[in-house]
Structure 1
Amino acid sequence: MERTGFEKFIWNLTQRFTSVLDTSFSPEDYIAIDLSETNEELEKIDISSSESFAGFIDNYLKNTGKKVAFGGYTEIRKLYRRSELFSHLEDARDIHLGMDFWAPAQTAVLAVLDGKIQSFKDNANFGDYGPTIILEHSLNGDKFYSLYGHLSRKSLENLKPGQEFKQGEKIGELGTAEENGDYAPHLHFQIIGHLEDKIGDFPGVASRRDLDFYLRNCPDPDLLLKLRH
């Protein structure tokens, strides 16, 4: 499929693998994981339990000898059906719009590009992002945003709108299930073209009805990070 102009723009911002987690992880430490509704292994665990899900992730990493499990862009996931935030019968949202990185709590989260704090918020609903930071990036007059969700509450301390971060600088850390919306520790990373006046929040899961818009507005983060590309 031919890339859109926004996708080409994002692709050209980096030349090689660009880390969004602790730089002690090399590309060889990452492994893709399938968390879609078609993965029969997920039928063997209680996906409504963050503890059970964390055990599934930990076992996967142990069995593969890797340190970070990643993936999820456009995956259809049953995981979201546990939360009323996503499971409205008329327009259920279950298509993931970001890229997830499953790693231990307190793992450092890095600014993927130079940017400044657009907003931040503790989205504390069950199944929500928990502590979230949105960076604004401006390059040659073009603005876009990167969202970092499921952080620790400590990550939001002493932040200020407009505060600048350099690429690779630590902006936060992964939160525990008790503070990150009740998930196994992980980062939700998302690229956003138009933020639509949202503050500290933006949909990270779409319904089929709205999917075309969100795919145009939120391209595959791996175009920037280049783990697979």
Structure 2
Amino acid sequence: MTFGPFGILLAVLVVGGAFLVLGGAPLLGIPDGDFAGLLYGGVLAAVIGAGVLRSARGRWVSAALSAGTWLAAFAVVTALYVFGPELRFVGDRMLSALQPGRTSTTGEAGDRRISVERSGDGQFHVDASVNGVTLRFVADTGASVVALDQASAARAGIPVDTLHYGTPIRTANGVAQAAGVRIDRLSVGGIERRNVSAVIVDQDLGIGLLGLSFLDTFRSVEFRGNRLILTE
């Protein structure tokens, strides 16, 4: 009675399974959990291999091509699973370079990082959510607070008609009158801040200013070449 390669492999798997069940010191220094995974992979390989050999008698080239295709597909799926976060970050970086205002966020809650690419005009444009409404801002470390014009504020549900515009501020269009408010929810790249100090300006700004009342809530604000990085 002779044993083929699959018979020998089956015997090895049986012995390994018995060793795992009976317990004892790790076999060849491999922890039990890793050894169990190795056995499972061996059983799966034996079953698939036996099926391929049985169906491919006389058609070895076709069987080899089929096996190679399955192995390549398995490798691609595994790579997508293992490197998913890195691939998503690369994709976000590419999209943010093509679409100004788009942010890419990496890391976990409490240790996240937002990256924004510099736009063609030299500014860092940011799409932010104000009370659930997406508005366009420019990140401005020279502005002490977040600033919106009346039209943008009204879109975000802020009652602009009831505000008192009695604070003079200087804008790119000259001196304007502003009213202080608190934004209930302001988020960028999925990171939200509540009760953010802001001003509503009585003239058209064209774009909001993302000032220090929001930026200072981050652990660090860095400019690295053409990127603005906010670290939570």
Q: TM-score, normalised by structure 2?
A: 0.27
Structure with higher RCO (Cα < 8 A, 6+ apart): 1
**Higher share in helix:** 2
Q: Which has the higher strand share?
A: 2
Q: Which structure has the greater CA radius of gyration? A: 2
Structure 1 length-normalised TM: 0.27
